[in-house]
């Protein structure tokens, strides 16, 4: 992607990131889904949200 395209799509990527984190937090708090056993670095999938989510959105 060109620099102009990244600047154009970055707000959309940040909105998707914040929305995904809010949905996941609400779902975890209300018990919609729960992890029974977690591998330490992937506890509640936060690395996915902050790492690949903005890239996949753009």
pLDDT tens per residue across span 16-34: 888 888 888 888 788 787 6
- How many C-beta atoms surround the C-beta of residue 44 within 10 A? 14
How many angstroms separate the CA atoms of 34 and 16, rounded?
22
- How many C-beta atoms surround the C-beta of residue 24 within 10 A? 17
Q: CB–CB of 20/56 below 8 Å?
A: no
pTM, whole model, 2 decimals?
A: 0.67
pLDDT tens per residue across span 30-53: 878 766 666 665 556 666 677 777
């Amino acid at each position: 992607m060109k620099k102009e395209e990244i600047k154009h799509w970055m707000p959309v990527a940040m909105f998707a990131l914040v929305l995904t984190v809010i949905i996941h937090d609400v779902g975890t708090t209300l018990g919609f889904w729960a992890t029974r056993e977690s591998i330490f670095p992937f506890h509640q999938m936060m690395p996915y949200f902050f790492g690949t989510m903005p890239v996949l959105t753009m």
